[in-house]
Amino acid sequence: MITKNQVKYIQSLSHKKFRDEEGLFVAEGRKIVAELLGMPHIRTKELYGTLEWYASQAVSTSDKGYFEISEGELERISFLKTPNQVLGIFYKPDLVIEPGSWQILLDGIQDPGNLGTIIRIADWFGVPQIICSQDCADAFSPKVVQSTMASIGRVEIFYTDLVEYVRTHSHRHFYAATLEGTPLRDIKAHGPSALVIGNESMGIRSELKNELKYFVTIPRMGAAESLNAAVATGIILSHIITDL
């Protein structure tokens, strides 16, 4: 039986302030929770699963912080429209990233779905680090976490002033995705490098663009005005990462 205090505590984690204070994030569903449980660097605080879920896992409610709950109780604490057997509360990962690794810089990516998909794309292409401007969506919000499908446990995310970051990392080659730049097929990236992706509607803000030297464009064949930020990220990385 889940208590009122537990429900209140879990619901408080929908707010960034409380997630930051506790150093926690919430993930839901059989696949994503199972994958996070299998990551040795991810620490679990609490699990709330149905009898069906526990019966299918190599864990039990005898473990500290593991609770068996009913479907109705899961609906009370879930952030999903359709809860899927388990909700997990995890400590934010503490990753160690090689200094020469590829990076993605995100300038004002505010849609949680876009951010989550970009994190998943980064994981697919082996990009271990994403640097976000302060006005990006919170990578550890429930919506973003669900969109990453557990990639949040393998990609380091941190927030900073991107203009200052570029100025203090002049050894890197920053490739900015814009509508006016060198065609993607003509780009030969060399590292350490980073891909810069701008806001969904406004692109890369002018203050940051003024600090950049390399601009890349995905050639347009049709009449669409622009590409979704996550789609553009995937297309560009599929070229410049695999071409190294």
Instruction: List, for residues 110-164, the tens digit of each pLDDT value.
Output: 999 999 999 999 999 999 999 999 999 999 999 999 999 999 999 999 999 999 9
Domain boundaries, the chain: 4-91, 103-240
User: Which pTM value belongs to this model?
Assistant: 0.93
Q: Which of 19, 175, 181, 200 is nearest to 117 (CA)?
A: 200
Q: Tell me: the pLDDT tens digits for 64-86?
A: 899 999 999 999 999 999 999 99
User: Alpha helices of the chain — where are they, by DSSP H?
Assistant: 4-12, 16-22, 30-37, 51-55, 71-77, 112-124, 142-148, 162-167, 206-209, 229-240
> Topology of 4-91 in CATH?
60s Ribosomal Protein L30; Chain: A; (3.30.1330)
Structure confidence by residue, pLDDT tens digits, 104-115: 999 999 999 999
What fold, for 103-240? Answer: Alpha/beta knot (3.40.1280)
Distance of CA 241 to the CA centre of its chain: 19
Residues in the chain: 244
What confidence score (pLDDT) does residue 1 get? 78
